[in-house]
Structure 1
Amino acid sequence: MALYVQKFGGTSVGSVERIKAVAEKVKGFRDQGHQIVVVVSAMSGETNRLIEMASQINEEPTPREMDMLVSTGEQVTISLLAMALHQLGVKATSYTGAQIGIRTDSAHTRARIQQIETDELRADLDEGKVVVVAGFQGVDSEGNITTLGRGGSDTTGVALAAALKADECQIYTDVDGVYTTDPRVCAKARRLESITVEEMLEMASLGSKVLQIRAVEFAGKYNVPLRVLSSFEDGPGTLITADEEISNMEEPLISGIAFNNNEAKLTVLSTPDVPGVASRILGPISDANIEVDMIVQNVAPTGGYTDFTFTVAKNDFRQTQRILQEQVIPSLGGGEVRGDDKIAKVSLVGVGMRSHAGVASRMFRVLADEGINIRMVSTSEIKISVVIDEKFLELAVRSLHTAFGLDKADVSEEH
């Protein structure tokens, strides 16, 4: 008997019929004698519907009330799934994040899990019940409902698996695993049998929408076996593992190509070239809980000044501009802010880069041959990211996918 935490996303529970299908799948595992905790998202489209209603009342509602509103989507799903399980003769109990004891900080709309109370959950499992938990949400120390940000149900699932020391956390979605890149952009993309936690962490952070980055962080930190599977068809999915053994170290191994067009670039021109300026620029942005991604600092043509460029999520673009104009520029004694929200980031990811030179130059050559200009570059041991004009995104992905051999039917599916 094993303990599985199974997470089903919005598409997987997008209708009553699909919720019934999830119940059948869960029953199959329960009939084999396994203990099952199910984490579910809101039904597909429901969160967007709630957000749209809020916007009709107030364009900038308070974060606390937004959390109170959007957390209701998951409450609908957990109750319907528990009912569907009861109809199949399976004992089940549904819980909101607050009821199950998922304790978070108070950062509304982007809270972080601090603790999970498992006593009641374990008692239900020992009684043979399937426990159905609302993903994406928790409760802070003052009893306020909080949410974890988009994709937060993945984080709930992995965090519960870590707290319960589950045998595996299974993420069921509308794709049958992790691909070398998004098949909707590149038809020749291939499913990987396995990928390292480190590679998946990079893929998630660089724009791959299969898993939320915080879910992968949890999996890596607490050594949770994580598997991505299809809700709609049987198959082995993709195992995300800590194992970094590579079958062939003679060639650079690129596991996949991630991309993200949900980014915007901001530049503060002619900032003083003195210690502490970067902190004075990014400090107010950090205080607003806005995450900064790539950073480049260049020496300006006029001596004693630099240009400071960085990227943020596109939905943080306007707020970041306001912070720069209203807080940062006055503190620097002047300067100019320029922004561009028509950019995209494309990244090569693979642990094989560690022992091979020339990957970056090859990437740059492929893009140059397609007439694609590079705006920014960022590298690490296992990834190379470039910022380009958004209009060239799909061309860049397909060209790189072919150039690095990922189109091949035998693309490494053993690592």
Structure 2
Amino acid sequence: MPRIVMKFGGTSMAGIERIRHVAERVRREAADGAEVRVVVSARAGETDRLVQLCREATALHDSTEYDVVVASGEQVTAGLLAMTLQNMGVNARSFMGWQLVRASGVHGNARVDAVESGMLDDALKSGIVAVIPGFQGMSDDGRLATLGRGGSDTSAVAIAAGVKADRCDIYTDVDGVYTTDPRIVPKARKLDAITFEEMLELAGVGAKVLQTRSVGLAMRENLPLRVLSAFEDKPGTRVVAQLSGADMERNQIAGIAADKNEARVTLTGIADAPGMVAQVISPLADAGILVDMIVHAATPNSGSSDLTFTVPRASLSQAIAVIEQRKGTIGFAELIHDDAVAKVSIVGVGIRSNPGLASKMFETLAERKINLLAVSSSEIKVSALIAEAELDLAVRVLHTAFGLDADA
């Protein structure tokens, strides 16, 4: 019998009729003989509503009490799904995430340390389908802790790894992983399979199908994932360690990602000396601000240099404040910032062995007179920072250039 974890997102749980639809899917899997655990998100929009309530209560709220409030949405949907399954004749019960998941780190963005699977194993032996709220665990201090936005995906993968599941099925409002956003490129193709590495890079550069932490955890545990539609019975996309068979013959580029959540900061006239980049980046890291693309260019024979980097758009104001506070230490001449930028990326295992793919990307953008503001790369990814107004055009021309358009 396959042992699976089924995870359902917020749109899947948005109302009783949709919960009934989810329950029927779970019932079918259990009836077919699968050993099933289910992880659920709060209904769509509920976590945002709860966050706003916390803000209205007090701007400087206690992070542990904040977690108690915002985690309640998943508890509601877990209970409702368990009730609905029981009404269908399925032996089901809800658990609380904090009964099973041990977490540590910052409240509101905790990380999973371990899953205590004993209660779930006992439930399975009794023929019970366990329904578990995602997004939550128990912290070292014995308090409920949440795992950050999108944390239900991480919960599902962690629980699947903890119970040694054969796979984890992630049900979303899309029917799989596409070569790019179909809203930008209607000819985008759904992938039958994608590697963990490719999915991790796509998630990291703007693809919103899976949360980055969940993919990284699945990769470490070598746990196969499937991305499936919550609303249609269609084959989804498998996320696996290695491609095999016909999947190996697909394009060397798996997809094109687009991310508008970027802002650019440039410091001019800083000293061209060892440690200067660290003097800028370290305070940002201490403030919890993620720095992405970094370009450090020295001016010959001047002793000075310019430093350009990107941060999430929502963090721009905080980043500026942190740097301005250290102007005397850093010694820059001017701080220039711009949030009308975006990042376009090509991702694929083929980049590792074919350096011509990067040059093809740059040539394609140059042909359309799209200027590159910054570039970064990894083994299987190349990203370019461009003007936000040119993002959709860049995605479309790259998608075509790399042969990713679906056949008409």
Give the TM-score normalised by the residue count of structure 2. Answer: 0.95
1:249 to partner: Cα distance: 8.5
Q: Check if 1:7 corresponds to 2:7.
A: yes
1:61 to partner: Cα distance: 3.8
State the partner residue of 1:124. 123
State the partner residue of 1:382. 380
The residue identity in structure 2 corresponding to 1:7 is: K
Q: For residues 123-145 of structure 1, give each alpha carbon's deviation from its aligned partner in whole angstroms, at most 9, with x where no partner exists.
A: 11111111111111212100222
Query: 1:145-294 residue pairs with structure 2 within 5 A?
Result: 145-245=144-244, 253-294=252-293
Q: For residues 328-386 of structure 1, give each alpha carbon's deviation from its aligned partner in whole angstroms, at most 9, with x where no partner exists.
A: 32332454322222211110011112222322222122222223211110122211100
1:229 to partner: Cα distance: 0.6
- Summarize the Cα distance change of 1:44–1:70 in structure 2 as closer, same or farther, 3 Å threshold: same
Q: Check if 1:36 corresponds to 2:50.
A: no
State the partner residue of 1:353. 351
Higher deviation after alignment, 130-139 or 53-62:
53-62
1:250 to partner: Cα distance: 9.5
1:247 to partner: Cα distance: 5.8
Question: Is the 1:270–1:300 Cα contact (8 Å) retained in structure 2?
Answer: no
State the partner residue of 1:371. 369
Q: State the SS of the aligned residue for 2:28.
A: helix
1:301 to partner: Cα distance: 6.5
Q: State the SS of the aligned residue for 2:314.
A: helix
Q: For residues 94-126 of structure 1, give each alpha carbon's deviation from its aligned partner in whole angstroms, at most 9, with x where no partner exists.
A: 1222122x1111312221111111111111111
1:59 to partner: Cα distance: 4.5
Q: Tell me the percent identity.
A: 49
Higher deviation after alignment, 256-265 or 284-293:
284-293
The residue identity in structure 1 corresponding to 2:322 is: I
Rounded Cα–Cα distance in structure 1 between residues aligned with 2:301 and 2:39: 56
Q: For residues 153-181 of structure 1, give each alpha carbon's deviation from its aligned partner in whole angstroms, at most 9, with x where no partner exists.
A: 11111111111110110000011110000
Q: State the SS of the aligned residue for 1:203.
A: helix
Q: State the SS of the aligned residue for 1:27.
A: helix
Rounded Cα–Cα distance in structure 2 between residues aligned with 1:386 and 1:98: 41
The residue identity in structure 2 corresponding to 1:82 is: A
Q: State the SS of the aligned residue for 1:232.
A: coil
Rounded Cα–Cα distance in structure 1 between residues aligned with 2:196 and 2:247: 19
Rounded Cα–Cα distance in structure 2 between residues aligned with 1:187 and 1:251: 19
Q: For residues 246-280 of structure 1, give each alpha carbon's deviation from its aligned partner in whole angstroms, at most 9, with x where no partner exists.
A: 86999961110011111222222222222222222
Question: Is the 1:252–1:359 Cα contact (8 Å) retained in structure 2?
Answer: no
State the partner residue of 1:342. 340
Q: State the SS of the aligned residue for 1:292.
A: coil
State the partner residue of 1:413. none
Question: Is the 2:107–2:145 Cα contact (8 Å) retained in structure 1?
Answer: yes
Rounded Cα–Cα distance in structure 2 between residues aligned with 1:333 and 1:347: 33
Rounded Cα–Cα distance in structure 1 between residues aligned with 2:178 and 2:187: 10
State the partner residue of 1:405. 403
Higher deviation after alignment, 107-116 or 174-183:
107-116
The residue identity in structure 2 corresponding to 1:380 is: S
The residue identity in structure 1 corresponding to 2:330 is: L
Higher deviation after alignment, 317-326 or 239-248:
239-248
Q: State the SS of the aligned residue for 2:123.
A: helix
Rounded Cα–Cα distance in structure 1 between residues aligned with 2:80 and 2:268: 54
Q: Check if 1:82 corresponds to 2:82.
A: yes
Rounded Cα–Cα distance in structure 2 between residues aligned with 1:249 and 1:157: 28
1:34 to partner: Cα distance: 1.4
Rounded Cα–Cα distance in structure 2 between residues aligned with 1:232 and 1:154: 18
Q: State the SS of the aligned residue for 1:12.
A: helix
Higher deviation after alignment, 144-153 or 227-236:
144-153
